Amino acid sequence: MSEDKTIYRPSQEIVEAAHVPDYDALREEAAQDPPGFWAARAEELLDWYEPWERVLDDSDAPFFKWFTGGKTNVVLNALDRHQRTATRNKLALVWEGEDGTLKTYSYFALNREVCEFANVLRSMGVKKGDRVTIYMPRIPELLMAMLATAKIGAVHSVVYGGFSVEALGERIEDSESKVLITADGGYLRGKIVPLKEIADEALQRCGTVEHVVVIRRTGEPVHMEQDRDYYYDELMALPVARSAGDGSETEVMDAEDPLFLLYTSGTTGKPKAILHTHGGYQVGTATTLKYAFDLKPEDRWWCAADPGWITGHSYIVYGPLILGATSIMYEGAPTYPYPDRWWRIVERYGVTILYTAPTAIRGLMRFGDSWVKKRNTSTLRLLGSVGEPINPEAWRWYHEVVGKGECPIIDTWWQTETGAFMITPVPSFPLKPGSGTKPFPGVQAEVLDDEGNPVPPGEEGKLVITTPWPSMLRGIYKDPDRYIEQYWSTYEGKYLTGDSAKVDEDGYFWIIGRVDDVIKVSGYRLGTAEIESGLVSHEAVAEAAAIAIPDEIKGNVIHAHVILKAGSEGSPELVSELKAHVGHEVGPIAKPTHIEFVDALPKTRSGKIMRRLLKARAMGLPEGDTSTLEG
Ligand code: WT7
């Protein structure tokens, strides 16, 4: 990876039109009183049923509370309030299926369908606080399911459609979901992903779900369990869907009431459910989207992520809807059927802002410039990046070929846990390729050494956030100890991100990567533990260790070391079988690219697998300090 020292300065035109013309000035102003800064945004950007009494309650740190006493519901701001203004006639969503189907929803139409769906869920007995698991392809009903759940005060847990049986079952079980919303299948690269079949298998392994709602996407026949499974279109045709006339009541929530759980991978063990709430989350997503992407009423915003990840929650669903924006959503693969699919979408719908991941950029760059050039992408004015560090080559291609050298690149660093952007430029700010520039106003970040002292400029250390922010996670569902242990125990009073980073002489932050057992594959976050437990659940496997190996397109790929049980022998067939097994249990995204059969794994004297050593060996690098290796 070559370094690029060029500084890219925005044109005068961009600076003048920006919501934030002087980023450093706003950052400084906010740093004087971060809660005051956030409270001003909460007032300016959102409606509240009742105002808050206290902006930040830190009496039980690190269990911080924001806007306590305030009454709200994310749906009040995302849908309800728009029905009273001209926004009701505006497009909320422009959706294109992989097969070319086009569907559009105005704010009015989206609200009607959400109200009806909310009525259906209520009639199924779903109440405030109940959990609902959503396992769906990238279709409009996914948004509606999330919004309908939030509207009635229930808590959604979206499981990405690329996960499979065990991963889904374990998430349903941990969240004790009463209802599962899924689809008969989804399309990816022209093939059908059998979501209902996977869901049926997962439901055999967990026992809390009473009802399953099935959206028809493919129209293929699927098993429907009597008195448990119902087709969405049939439910929506029932009188109960319209029981409340034109609308259905939005549940009035406390600012701190839970909005959703989202499972993500951590250092050890099972994925953890990150908890976000109604109040602060809205403030964080709306403010960051408005400022960092300079969102204006005339924009057509395309966040190309999946709603099943935090990026989609915050920047396909909640952020854009709260701001009354028009969002583009596309169901399928970027290169299907040809590598110009995305550029055709930009052309067809006049996309002005595109937000995606470096892995997708590298994947498209591979096909050369001509695919972009044959489409009219001149509507683009801003480009965004997220998920992993962007290498300078990909940055330049994105900037020069996709953005014609005119679109600032907004490289946003954040996490499932942070809910919203934490380190990001705004369009008026000078850029350095590969750096997310500086912490957002109201956010304070530092890079520390092991003793907790800030490292000098240019040196690597651990990235921490030093003050609370409104969209921060409120904990790990059902596991307060793990919340403290994982995020707040390394440095007293500071939030540990799990990333290493550097700060340069100009105060720009450079993210290096994860320092824990989290692997980023194509921007997807996976735990080594999840991949390993997928492998070990195969009858031939005794023990496994997964590591990340750098890859030009995907950022990283998974390399698994496997010890077989006595009596089993390694073979190319077994390698394929194990890959398929991990695909079936955890999901296609967790499939190792390489599987190596070994007789032993290097461990420390306390029995921890030394993944660092495995990685050095796999990459042919020096082994470093091996003094803790078991003799
Ligand atoms: C991890 C969080 C929240 C967006 C999607 C990922 C890495 C995220 C960047 C960026 C360098 C990045 C970090 C972080 N990451 N954005 N712009 N530059 N690294 O959310 O799945 O919770 O993963 O993604 O390592 O800790 P996530």
Lowest mean pLDDT among 56-65, 119-128, 259-268, 304-313: 259-268
Residue that has been written with the tokens 């930040």 in this structure: 56
Q: Is the distance from CB of 69 to CB of 54 less than 8 angstroms?
A: yes
Residues with CB under 6 A from ligand 1: 264, 310-311, 385-389, 411-416, 436, 497-499, 511, 514, 520, 525
Closest atom of ligand 1 relative to the 385 alpha carbon: 17
| 414 token code pair | 């954040």
Whether the per-residue pLDDT at 28 is higher than 50: the answer is yes
State the burial class of residue 53 (Cβ atoms within 10 Å of its Cβ: 0-12, 13-18, 19+): exposed
Quote the mean pLDDT of the chain: 95
Report CA(118)–ligand 1 centroid distance (Å): 33
Report CA(413)–ligand 1 centroid distance (Å): 6
Region 441-458: mean pLDDT is: 97
Q: Output the pLDDT for position 629.
A: 75
Report CA(264)–ligand 1 centroid distance (Å): 12
Among protein residues, the one with the nearest Cα to ligand 1's atom 12 is: 388
Query: Confidence class of residue 1 from pLDDT cuts 50, 70 and 90?
Result: very low
Most ligand 1 atoms within 8 A of CB, residue of 267, 306, 356, 388 to mutate? 388
Report CA(414)–ligand 1 centroid distance (Å): 5
Print the SS3 string covering 536-573.
HCCCCEEEEEEEEEEECCCEEEEEEEEEECCCCCCCHH
Q: Give me the sign of the Cα torsion angle 192, 193, 195, 198.
A: positive
Most ligand 1 atoms within 8 A of CB, residue of 160, 267, 272, 386 to mutate? 386
Report CA(215)–ligand 1 centroid distance (Å): 31
Q: Output the pLDDT for position 246.
A: 56
**pLDDT one-digit tens code per residue, 232-255:** 999 999 998 886 555 689 999 999
Number of alpha carbons in the 13 Å side-chain half-sphere of residue 300: 19
Question: For residues 476 and 525, what is the distance between their CA atoms, to the nearest angstrom?
Answer: 17
Whether the per-residue pLDDT at 5 is higher than 80: the answer is no
Determine if the pTM surpasses 0.85: yes
Closest atom of ligand 1 relative to the 414 alpha carbon: 3
Whether the per-residue pLDDT at 581 is higher than 70: the answer is yes
Q: Output the pLDDT for position 625.
A: 74
| 185 token code pair | 């299948």
Among protein residues, the one with the nearest Cα to ligand 1's atom 21 is: 525
Report CA(357)–ligand 1 centroid distance (Å): 10
